[in-house]
Amino acid sequence: MAKITKNIDEVTIRFAGDSGDGMQLTGGQFTTATAFVGNDLATMPDYPAEIRAPAGSLAGVSSFQINFGATEIRTPGDQSDCLVVMNPAALKVYLKKLREGGSIIANADNFNEKNLRLAAYESNPLQNDSLGRYQVYSVEISKLTQNALKDLNLSPKIVDRTKNFFALGLTYWMYNRPMEPTLKWIKEKFAGKEDIIEANTRVLKAGHAYGETTEIFTVRFEVAPAQLPPGRYRSITGNEATAWGLMAAAKRANLELFLGSYPITPASEILQELSKYKNYGVKTFQAEDEIAGITSAIGASYGGALGATNTSGPGLALKTEAMGLAVMLELPLIIIDVQRGGPSTGLPTKTEQADLLQAVYGRNGEAPIPVFAACSPTDCFDTTFEAARIALKYMTPVIVLTDGYIANGAEPWLIPRISELPDLSPTFVTNLEGFAPYKRDPQTLARMWAIPGTPGLEHRIGGLEKENITGNISYDPDNHHLMITTRAEKINNITNDIPPAKLVGDESGDLLVVSWGSTYGAVHNAVETKRNEGLSVSHLHLKYINPLQKNIGEILKNFKQILVPEINLGQLIKILRDKYLVDAVGFNLVRGLPFSAVEIENKIDEMIKRG
C-alpha cells in the first residue's frame, strides 16, 4: 500500500513508559536527530521523585516530551500529537495530555493482566473502544524486538532493555528523522561491547523498517527545517546552560570560578556539570550543607574568585542569613535558585515560581539583592552571565531564578564566541594610596575590592555595620541610616545599567500580559495567537525583577487591564502593585506544571470580554 507524506509545521511527541524503560534516553536521542534536521525544538522530561517506583505502577511513569517545528518553538508543547506508551500506566497518566485525534503507539505486549491491574484498567483499552477518538497503533514491540535479536544469544533482560529503540526507530520513520546520529551514539556509548552495539542497531532499524513495511502505518510526516539565525548550534538544558554561563563569566572576568554547593533536586546537575571542568579554572566544593555552600563561596569571593552557589527553594531558605552577610560585605556572589514545588520538601521534581518573594525580600534587615530570572533553557546562560556582570561591577550578590521546567528542558542554543562576550574583569586595588575598604565608585557606588595577598592593604570586614568609607565597626545611628540607604541606592543604580523593557505588541491597548521566568513561552504563544485573532493584547516579559527596568511604570500605564500569570499565588503581582499602584489581575495555577498556552488564551479571552 502506498504511503503518503504530509507536511506539517509543528509536532509534539511524548515518550512515556516505566522509569526503567529508558524514556529519557529515547527522548534525548529523538532530540538530537531532530536538531540534526534543523528544526527548532523544546523538550521537557517529567519523572517521578522516587528513584524506582514499583514497575508498572502509575507512580513509576516517566516521560519525555518534545515539541519541534519549522517555525520558532518556545515551549515543549501543550498537548501532544503523538503519544508513545510502553505500558498501560503510561497511557493512563498521559492520555489526558493527548490532543483529540492524536496518535497512540502502544507496546501491546505490556498490556497484560498484571500491568492493566496496576494501572487500574478494568479491561484492555487497546481492545475495547475507549480510545475511539484517537489513532491507535497497537504494536507488539517486545515480541518484535525479541524476533530481531533471536540469533544473538543475549539474555532476555538485555533484549528487553533495547525495546525502547524499536519505538524510537518507528517514530524516526513516522517523522522522517535520520537514524545516523543515534547509530553513531550507539557505537560510542557501547564501544567494546560488540553484541550490545549490534542489538541496539538492529532493533532501531527494525522499528524503522516496521513503519516502512507494515500496512497499519499509512502516513508519515515531514517537518521542514526552521528559519533560525545562522551559526553553529547545539542542544542544551537549562542547568547545563547555567553551569556554562558561570564558566563563561569567570573566563571573561579572568577569575577562578568557585562553586560551593549541596545537592538538591532539581539543581544538582549544575554542581555535577561544573565538577567535570577542573582543567578550566573551576573549583567545585560539595559542602556539608547549603549554609556551608554559600559561606564557602563568600570566602572564595573574598579571596578574589568568582564565588557562586546553587540550590533549590529549601536550600535558598538555609542560605538566607549568609546572603545578608554578602550584602554587608559587598562582595560579588552568584546565587542560583532552581525553583521547585514548595513549601517545605513540596514537589521536588515539579516546577513552580513560588520563591520569588523569598528571593526579593526574604532576609532580615534591609538587604537588597538584585534578582534576575531566566525564561528558557538557553536564557539560563545569558541570565547567569548577566548576573555575574552585575555582581562584579556593583560588588553585590545577585540571585538567578530558574526552575525545574527550564532547568531540565532543552532547546537549540546558538553557541556564542567566548571572545565576543563582554569583558567582566574587575579591578583589584593594589595601591595603598587612597585605599579604604568602603570607599565607593561615585557612579556605581560599588566599594573598592582589595584581596588577601595584597601587601599593605590588610583590612577587616564583617557582618557588623560598617562605618562609611573606613569599614570600621560603627554603631552610629546616622551612619547606619546612611549605609542602609547607600546599599539600597547602589542596587537601584543598576537600572542605569540594564536595557529598557521591550514590549511584544502595541504600546497601549486593552490588555497587557506580564510574565517572568519560565512562563515566557506559553504567554508569548498565547498573546501571539490572540493578536492574530485581532485582540488588543500585548506582552511584557520581565528578566529583571529587582531592580525593575526604568520604563515599566510607563508601560503599565498604557493598558486598560493587566494580567499577571504566575505559578504561585501571586508574587510578582504584589511587587508591581506595590511599586506602581496598578490594578493588575493574577492568573495563578500552582500544580507543579507549566502553564499551557491555551490556558493563558482562555484567560485573555475572559479578561477582554469582561473589558
Total residues binding another protein (CB under 8 A): 68
Q: Of these, 12, 201, 295, 519, which contacts another protein (CB under 8 A)?
A: 295
Does residue 415 belong to the site contacting another protein (CB under 8 A)?
yes
Stretch that binds another protein, among 168-176, 227-235, 550-558, 567-575 (CB under 8 A): 227-235
Does residue 219 belong to the site contacting another protein (CB under 8 A)?
no
Of residues 96 and 232, the one with the C-beta less far from another protein: 232
Query: Could you give the 3-state DSSP secondary structure of residue 359?
Result: helix
What is the DSSP annotation of 273-328?
Answer: HHTT-GGGTEEEEE-SSHHHHHHHHHHHHHTTSEEEEEE-HHHHHHHHHHHHHHHH
Of residues 472 and 493, the one with the C-beta less far from another protein: 472
Q: Of these, 16, 199, 316, 322, which contacts another protein (CB under 8 A)?
A: 322
Does residue 610 belong to the site contacting another protein (CB under 8 A)?
no
Site for another protein in 375-394 (CB under 8 A): none
Q: Of these, 20, 25, 38, 183, which contacts another protein (CB under 8 A)?
A: 38
Please check whether residue 393 is in contact with residue 445, taking contact to mean a CB–CB distance below 8 angstroms. no
Of residues 19 and 24, the one with the C-beta less far from another protein: 24
| 404: nearest Cα among 563, 297, 265 | 265
Stretch that binds another protein, among 5-13, 334-342, 410-418, 528-536 (CB under 8 A): 410-418
Q: Which residue has the cell 489513532?
A: 135
Length of the chain: 611
The amino acid sitting at 379 is D
Please check whether residue 82 is in contact with residue 11, taking contact to mean a CB–CB distance below 8 angstroms. yes
Does residue 283 belong to the site contacting another protein (CB under 8 A)?
yes
Q: From the CB of 21, what's the least distance to another protein, in Å?
A: 23
Does residue 522 belong to the site contacting another protein (CB under 8 A)?
no
Of residues 452 and 500, the one with the C-beta less far from another protein: 452
* Neighbouring C-beta atoms of residue 96, cutoff 10 Å: 7
Cis peptide before 368 (omega within 30 of 0): no
Does residue 3 belong to the site contacting another protein (CB under 8 A)?
no
Q: From the CB of 197, what's the least distance to another protein, in Å?
A: 18
Of residues 134 and 233, the one with the C-beta less far from another protein: 233
| 183: nearest Cα among 211, 167, 205 | 205
Please check whether residue 114 is in contact with residue 56, taking contact to mean a CB–CB distance below 8 angstroms. yes
Question: How far apart are alpha carbons 191 and 198 in whole angstroms?
Answer: 11
Q: From the CB of 269, what's the least distance to another protein, in Å?
A: 16
Tell how far CA 20 is from the center of its chain: 24
Please check whether residue 264 is in contact with residue 312, taking contact to mean a CB–CB distance below 8 angstroms. yes
Question: How far apart are alpha carbons 484 and 548 in whole angstroms?
Answer: 19
Stretch that binds another protein, among 192-200, 317-325, 390-398, 535-543 (CB under 8 A): 317-325
Question: How far apart are alpha carbons 396 and 549 in whole angstroms?
Answer: 18
Of residues 348 and 416, the one with the C-beta less far from another protein: 416
| 363: nearest Cα among 323, 394, 331 | 323
Does residue 311 belong to the site contacting another protein (CB under 8 A)?
no
Stretch that binds another protein, among 98-106, 108-116, 160-168, 413-421 (CB under 8 A): 413-421
Pairing of strands 282-286, 257-261: parallel
Of residues 157 and 417, the one with the C-beta less far from another protein: 417
Does residue 36 belong to the site contacting another protein (CB under 8 A)?
yes
Does residue 418 belong to the site contacting another protein (CB under 8 A)?
yes
Of residues 225 and 422, the one with the C-beta less far from another protein: 225
Q: From the CB of 11, what's the least distance to another protein, in Å?
A: 19
Of residues 322 and 535, the one with the C-beta less far from another protein: 322
User: Which run of H or of E encompasses 383?
Assistant: helix 379-394
Question: How far apart are alpha carbons 523 and 167 in whole angstroms?
Answer: 33
User: Which run of H or of E encompasses 541?
Assistant: strand 537-542
Q: From the CB of 189, what's the least distance to another protein, in Å?
A: 12
Site for another protein in 238-267 (CB under 8 A): 244, 247-248, 251, 256, 258, 260
Does residue 281 belong to the site contacting another protein (CB under 8 A)?
yes
| 312: nearest Cα among 290, 273, 275, 339 | 339
Q: From the CB of 316, what's the least distance to another protein, in Å?
A: 16
Of residues 234 and 591, the one with the C-beta less far from another protein: 234
Stretch that binds another protein, among 197-205, 233-241, 500-508, 575-583 (CB under 8 A): 233-241
Q: Which residues of 197-216 are buried (b: 16+ CB within 10 A; e: fewer)?
A: bebbbbbbbbbbebbeeeee
Contacting residues for 479 by C-beta, under 8 A, at least 6 apart? 465, 467, 468
User: Which run of H or of E encompasses 485?
Assistant: helix 477-493
Q: From the CB of 325, what's the least distance to another protein, in Å?
A: 5
Does residue 458 belong to the site contacting another protein (CB under 8 A)?
yes
Phi, psi of 438 (to 5 degrees): -115, 30
Stretch that binds another protein, among 110-118, 172-180, 451-459, 592-600 (CB under 8 A): 451-459
Please check whether residue 229 is in contact with residue 414, taking contact to mean a CB–CB distance below 8 angstroms. yes
- What mask of x and - would describe binding to another protein in positions 472 to 501, judged by CB under 8 A? xx----------------------------
As given in the structure block, the three cell numbers for residue 55 are 514497575
Q: How far is CA 410 from CA 64, 73, 423, 492, 521, in A?
A: 11, 11, 27, 33, 13
Of residues 152 and 415, the one with the C-beta less far from another protein: 415
Does residue 565 belong to the site contacting another protein (CB under 8 A)?
no
Helical segments of 70-213, H only: 88-94, 113-118, 141-149, 156-161, 163-174, 180-189, 194-213
Of residues 120 and 415, the one with the C-beta less far from another protein: 415
Does residue 325 belong to the site contacting another protein (CB under 8 A)?
yes
Burial of 317 (0-12, 13-18, 19+ CB in 10 A): middle
Does residue 134 belong to the site contacting another protein (CB under 8 A)?
no
Of residues 295 and 561, the one with the C-beta less far from another protein: 295
Q: From the CB of 258, what's the least distance to another protein, in Å?
A: 5
Q: Which residues bind another protein (CB under 8 A)?
A: 32, 35-36, 38, 181, 225, 228-235, 244, 247-248, 251, 256, 258, 260, 277-281, 283, 285, 287-289, 291-292, 295-300, 302-305, 307, 321-322, 324-325, 415-419, 452-464, 472-473
